[in-house]
Structure 1
């Protein structure tokens, strides 16, 4: 008879049982973190859109709106006005009046005596709010209790609300503790709950806030309202003016906080939803996994479809009966179990196996029917044969296992095929650049060495990628292997076989080499001087990235900068240039030069929230004041007009930095941008400067730009100045600064310093 321990070991060795257990643990994890998981809240909010309801009209909002503040000529109402409003509401037949606000007025405030008298005429029918900051851990104390003069004949309610993750859910307490005892929440009091309850409830945002009736505070004050709107109803006075804080609704949009309290009160009047939690759905799915996946069968498509219908439709049905069911933990568990089981099925269907490593062979990959939508990668170990020969015994399995383990760090469920010193797999990634980045990460991991037994092995590899998804896998594998061999010959990490004709994508090859080029010193920074025409002195320079490739020679900045911007890798280059530029400027400033440096900032970086911090840290690292750094905004055709982008530029200017509009007159860098952007400088593009001394149209255009920029308080820099005549024309047009080959070419910093010193010597002579 098999012992229980042996039986458990047999079960654990079965991968399907391990999948089942992993899925159950995953479901328990997501279930126990509860509302910290926003997916459940998103699903619940989505369901409310299916059952919009109207408010029943039993609660009316008295709005302290813009009209009220304009008519009373003040930014707040006072006790005297409140007294008259309460009086008018009570005479019209209101049941009770609630104030959705703290009441900071003292007994000495104007009108306080009138309000006290009104409260005595309607004892315990007026409620004042008490606010507190409520965290999920609790412990905060209530504050701002109304003055004793108002407490004798009124009641108090708590205004506490708990907002959860992403503002997708709100929880309201039934009651809260205070220094005067436990208070009911405003919602509970308006709903008329007799007893004070403990705990929280979720407001039903299916109740359309637009259907909640309301009256202007000023109309009530002046008696200009229909008493039928008030008779027999509960009135809540709350802020709706544009100066008050508006809260985000889970369904989108922003409304004053008073609407939240009214929605919560209507929820309690109807009966708050009964929360079943996540366990019922979890138990159903867990049973399905144990009886299906755990016994050697994947979840059949029909069963999976039925389960999906239950998980999607049942919660909607239960919502209408006031029952709330959480299904996201069960859904995540089902998806994970199905995905892992089918991955296992796919792997086990591969019959061909490499005898040396135990991995599927290339023949298994070639034998698969049809095509694949994945990117096919071939990885060639350069020194594979030498590694195998250096060990006694058969170590190919250990080496292949280590390679496979590292490949699966970023893609855990890919099938890795093996043949000799070559490995291949179909990546789950669809973006070629993302795949290249993964392969770069794999290269860094493998560079740390692989330990086999007790020996550390130095492994080097190159990769080929085929993205022609329309070809058969046999053809694609051959192309990927050929590209890997090409990568070995050209000493590139990755070569890519394209769909058109099998040529290597040099652009993406450059992209994968860029980081290494920066680290190896192939990328450097040149400085092109900027001359002040009024003093004839060099007062600054533009820092420009240059790449000297060891094999291909100098690579055009337009080429590699353009590629970096296209594939969103510009931040690394910008950080590198910024550091070198600020370091150089700091050196010159410490030596007594009044010097500023310009660095190009791509328009796409203005949407990067890390940009201000990156610049501030660089300035601080080299002790350079911000006024010595100018940011030239490039690629203005990609510059959006969003408030976020404008806020970013204003934040940079507020930090003491100068902004410059680069390439003015081309693309989107036009008159409208001169008015819109908070720039201190305008750079006229070289296409207008080249013939400024001979072309009447260019001359008039440059003159107009200079005059217009000066009238707006901007300085003007002309770039591309290549002759003395052009510089003389620009000086006559009152241009502030010039830049171009006539002034100086981009050169390394040491050469720039020599040029700067020679210019100063000639100027002083």
Structure 2
């Protein structure tokens, strides 16, 4: 009971596991892994950096936010520091004095002054700088020189005096010339000097640390005041258009002054001072966040993995794919609004690479899933469709074209596809739109009906249609077709395989339509491992023999027994002999099982003889073993090992219709008879080859099939068949045994028609060896039945 509960629990778990980690999912997960590794490799070599910078330009446009207004740019369209034009220094000095008079907060002089030929002009500027005291800061710029050299532009100490300095590094740019990331401080002559942008924001220097510059502030909203306006107002007392009291002032050149241009997202020829103004605004607002490529890549990879694990139907996966793809622009614009820069290119590259892998696989699968001869999709396309559309009801039908390979040998290459297509046309007689799949000698399709009987009835009608030959290449070709049917029960790939297996076991004469077995996942898995379990069961004694007595009707005494094999599994209980014997035949283990049963039976027979019960022992031998002389050696070796007298051993040949070569079988049986054993034909009267086998093979005994014995009293035809077989046996001088006798009242009838021996439940069920040793002979007025 506990084992059954475990089986009931294990079934859904195994099924769910197989559905979760089916081949398609593993393939997609593998593509995710490869796409991630390729994207990380691209990140390592900065391959997608230009794409990121383009996306940052988009972010800058999308943000469109206003600056704080605390920073005012006092700009000049003319060069203020030309030594040959010293009079400009008077203008700068006047502007600085006016700034001082109006009570500005801080002043950054972003113009480097060298000494000129006019000492008075230099002194005047120096005095204006000195008057501002600690409120003024001089800006030094690191610029590119000739070749790879860099040099520092700085104001002469004679002019700058003791005013503090900050640094703006114009070489701290990317390969497109944009300053997306700046340092808090730079090293100048072995000393750490605060950067211009950090100084504007009032942030202390952080050695080697960097921050992102946010260009989302609207350029036209940064207050700008012409320097000429400011210098004139100092002498004329005029008002100025911009409020500067308490503000931070940056004095510099506009982009019109040669050497002062700097590329920015919002302006290609902007003034160099704007980069540092934006840097200061970014630090003031706190918009310096940066989502790095690996982090964004991990986010998208995780979302894709979750989508693959959760979304099983293809439609749901495509919805998830669309959502993940739409997340990219949403993330781009949302991060722009909150001032976070996103390195999105590697995540986009990851999605593109994954899509390329999937597209390539779909293209490859489309090519692989089409039969080149017919143009029809293959059976694997049917499997993919069942999984993709989550089809969980109906039936899968596989039609097996009989003698397909032989027909193909006789047809021209151009006619092979035509032959199959003509068969498909007949399959579509009832439904012209039926989707048929072709692979080798199999044709498959899905039937929506859940009624197995209705499907079988339809297939019977199709078989009638195929009775007429088809015309191919000017020839008339007979068609033989059989069907395997499997109901869909939650796992379409497994049921498709079951339908194919059922079709392979069909035959036109005996089993034209085969229904695949149904069962739980654990039952199917147990059956798959059944063949390996057989060897273990024999070693453990779980497979054993029971013995059914054979009674002589004249003396009413037991003259022999038939050894019957049984299997009792500790977990599954009794296993049907028909089931595991078929598995042995498929696995090529029939010889091993026969040796095991023969040795057990002969050992039991030897023990019976030792106890004084000199009776014969009958053992079933599969007809499939009568194609190889090794079975003779097998019997001889067992007899020698058990020392059982061969004249008391009877080998019952089962399923004689399966003997492929009667001449070979006859030679093997003659060799067995030469050892001294007797040969019996089992189940005589059923099967197409019974009389032929009886005539051509050397039998000493025939056993009339239970079909006729069971009906002997109530069916005159059955009684006539038994009577004729008994008469035939007498004429051929061989023993006739009636098997399957269940009604003791039928004994008199069997005696009357001339049967010599009988076995069945009317006398005894199969007995264990210990019970057989205690078994008593029958008398005419007493019958012991059902002794177990």
TM-score range, shorter chain: 0.3 to 0.5
Q: Compare CA radii of gyration and give the structure with the larger one.
A: 2
Compute the TM-score of the two structures, normalised by the length of structure 1: 0.40
Compute the TM-score of the two structures, normalised by the length of structure 2: 0.39
